[in-house]
Structure 1
Amino acid sequence: MHKGLENVKYAVITVSDSRFNELLSGKNVDDKSGNYLRDELNAQYYALIPDNKDMLKGLINHIIDFFDIDSIVITGGTGISNRDNTPDVLRELFEKELDGFKIVFHNLSYNEVGYATVLSRATAGIYRNKIIYALPGSLNACKTAMNIIKKETGHILKHLLD
Structure 2
Amino acid sequence: MPGIDTSRTFIPLNIAVMTVSDTRTSETDTSGDVLAERIEKAGHHLADRVIVTDDLQMIRNQLRTWIADAHIDIVISTGGTGLTGRDVTPEAFKSVYEKEIDGFSAIFHRISYEKIGTSTIQSRATAGVAHGKYLFALPGSPSACKDGWDEILQYQLDNRYRPCNFVEILPRLQEHK
Structure 2 length-normalised TM: 0.81
Aligned partner of 1:29 in structure 2 is: 27
Alpha-carbon deviation of 1:39?
1.6
Alpha-carbon deviation of 1:142?
0.3
Unaligned runs of at least 5 residues, structure 1: none
Aligned partner of 1:10 in structure 2 is: 15
Take 2:99 and 2:64, find their aligned partners in 1: how far apart are those partners?
Answer: 16
**1:149 maps onto 2:157 in alignment:** no
The AA in structure 1 aligned to 2:14 is K
Q: 1:132 aligns with which of 121, 131, 135?
A: 135
Q: 1:81 aligns with which of 69, 81, 84?
A: 84
Unaligned runs of at least 5 residues, structure 2: 1-8, 41-45, 160-164, 173-177
> Following TM superposition, where does structure 1 have runs of at least 4 consecutive aligned residues deviating by more than 4 angstroms?
none
Contact map agreement 2:67 2:130 (CA 8 A) in 1: no
Take 2:58 and 2:104, find their aligned partners in 1: how far apart are those partners?
Answer: 25
Q: Which has the higher helix share?
A: 1
Take 2:70 and 2:78, find their aligned partners in 1: how far apart are those partners?
Answer: 19
How many residues are aligned here?
A: 152
Alpha-carbon deviation of 1:67?
5.5
- Matched residue of 1:45: which SS? strand
Alpha-carbon deviation of 1:97?
0.6
Take 2:15 and 2:124, find their aligned partners in 1: how far apart are those partners?
Answer: 21
Take 2:107 and 2:10, find their aligned partners in 1: how far apart are those partners?
Answer: 20
Identity %: 36
Alpha-carbon deviation of 1:5?
5.0
Structure 1 length-normalised TM: 0.88
Alpha-carbon deviation of 1:157?
3.1
Contact map agreement 1:98 1:125 (CA 8 A) in 2: yes
